[in-house]
Amino acid sequence: MSSNTSRRRDVTVADVARAASVSKAQAARALGNYGAVSEDVRERVLAAAEELSYRPNELARSMNTGKSHTIGVVVGDIENPHFGLATRGITDTAKKSGYNVILANTDEERAAEVDAVQVLLDKRVDGLIVAPASSTETDHLQRVYESGRPLVLLDRAARGLPAEVIAADMAGISYDATKYLLDSGHRRIAFISTLKNASPFLDGTQLDSSQISERLEGMLRAFAETKLPFPYDLVRLNAGDADSIRDATRELLLRADPATVVVASDGLIALSALGAIQDLQLSIPKDVSFLMYDDFAWARLTTPPLTVVAQPVYDMGVAAATALIRQIDGRKASGTAPALQARLIKRGSVGPPREAFQPAQAYTAEGPTAALG
């Protein structure tokens, strides 16, 4: 409560200039720290600014510099720790370079994403980081590109867009993980994902998400390599809310030819799936094995601790922001992109399938259950 309790009108450069008895331009130069200003004037202006508690209007500044020092971030669900962590990586990095972050949540809804991107462009963000809900419908992302502002994709690629993509190699790690499950004797591997898709996943289905496509591709490759038929009937897409995930899990486990291992596509899905398994009174890994994507702290606290595919999520956020800001500044890619490697962390939730211990193999002849090649 020093002096001014100014409400309405903000104090402007003009006010400061007047108080320091210099021209508006000179005041602006001193305040904005550009151009040539004598020491005397600088001091007077700064003093006046201090006295009047002047604050620059960044909006006005942005208007004629064309730079807002703001980047837009569009994610599917900030509540999902995956994005929470990535966002942390982004904001940390942005702050370091003097950028702010406008965050938009889309609920993995395409319409919301299109809208969010448009709004952010209208707000003249300097660049955009998007985790696109769809890898195929990308008109709105194309528009970003056309607006002349850089775009970096997080987690998922977008077909036909020249945008830089920050994501771990999902096909590779999925292949590894699947191989591990196969080696453990599993054949009935279920995969649950929130990915919205009109039809179930069949041979040749083109998926809308590069991320999930790659994971399934890795699985298919592992199966193919071992000459085993891929269990298309155990792939569950469109697993939206907690209830539908629970239902899907129950069904996968209670059906005639049940899954012997459940692979959860992210931490949120895992939570619901594990809840369902718990309700079913099934024990992991005795009755059913479990594997999830993303390694969160709680994965070590369950009994047994969970085997996971860990992604360097925070680093991905950092990488995305770094790449974007580099592009905003018009700098070229600095050769060595940091390796964003996902890792399979074996803990206790994957064991041999239940059937493997039973006297007779009720299945089709699919070769020995021993570890393969």
Interacting residue ranges for DNA, rule: CB under 7 A = 9-10, 12-14, 22-26, 28-29, 31-32, 34-38, 40-41, 54, 56-57, 60-61, 63-65
**Per CB under 8 A, 281 contacts a copy of itself:** no
**Per CB under 8 A, 63 contacts a copy of itself:** yes
Least separation in angstroms between CB 107 and a copy of itself: 9
- 84 vs 231 by CB, closer to a copy of itself: 84
CA dist 349 and 287 (Å) reads 11
**Per CB under 8 A, 40 contacts a copy of itself:** no
CA nearest 263: which of 169, 188, 211, 342? 188
Q: Which token pair is 281?
A: 């009174």
Which amino acid is present at 235?
Answer: V
Least separation in angstroms between CB 105 and a copy of itself: 5
- 57 vs 341 by CB, closer to a copy of itself: 57
Least separation in angstroms between CB 58 and a copy of itself: 5
Q: Draw the binding track, 144-183, toward a copy of itself (x: CB under 8 A; -: no contact).
A: --xxx-----------------------------------
CA dist 253 and 247 (Å) reads 10
Own/partner pairs for 10-13, CB < 8 Å, 24+ apart?
10/55, 10/57, 11/52, 11/53, 11/54, 11/55, 12/54, 12/57, 13/54, 13/56
CA nearest 319: which of 338, 347, 294? 338
- 122 vs 203 by CB, closer to DNA: 122
Listing DSSP states for 235-294 in one string gives: EE----SHHHHHHHHHHHHHSSS--SEEEESSHHHHHHHHHHHHHTT--TTTT-EEEEES
**Per CB under 8 A, 88 contacts a copy of itself:** yes
- Residue 364 near residue 356, CB atoms below 8 Å: no
Select the span of 35-43, 121-129, 211-219, 231-239 touching a copy of itself (CB under 8 A). 121-129
With CB under 5 to 8 Å by kind, the binding choice for 65 among a copy of itself, DNA, none is DNA
Q: How far is Cα of residue 344 from the mean position of the Cα atoms in its chain?
A: 19
CA dist 289 and 351 (Å) reads 6
With CB under 5 to 8 Å by kind, the binding choice for 298 among DNA, a copy of itself, none is a copy of itself
Listing DSSP states for 72-140 in one string gives: EEEES-TTSHHHHHHHHHHHHHHHHTT-EEEEEE-TT-HHHHHHHHHHHHHTT-SEEEE--S-SS--HH
Q: How far is Cα of residue 9 from the mean position of the Cα atoms in its chain?
A: 41
Choose, by CB under 8 A, the member of 30, 45, 52, 70 that binds a copy of itself: 70
With CB under 5 to 8 Å by kind, the binding choice for 70 among a copy of itself, DNA, none is a copy of itself
Least separation in angstroms between CB 41 and DNA: 4
- 26 vs 134 by CB, closer to DNA: 26
CA dist 354 and 228 (Å) reads 19
Least separation in angstroms between CB 172 and a copy of itself: 27
Q: Total residues at the site for a copy of itself (CB under 8 A)?
A: 58
**Per CB under 8 A, 274 contacts a copy of itself:** yes
With CB under 5 to 8 Å by kind, the binding choice for 182 among DNA, a copy of itself, none is none
Q: Which token pair is 337?
A: 């992109």
- 12 vs 138 by CB, closer to DNA: 12
- Residue 241 near residue 271, CB atoms below 8 Å: no
**Per CB under 8 A, 46 contacts a copy of itself:** no
**Per CB under 8 A, 101 contacts a copy of itself:** yes
Residues contributing to the site for a copy of itself (CB under 8 A) = 4-8, 10, 55-60, 62-63, 68, 70, 77-81, 84-85, 87-88, 91-92, 95, 100-105, 112, 118-124, 146-148, 268, 271-272, 274-275, 278, 296-298, 300-303
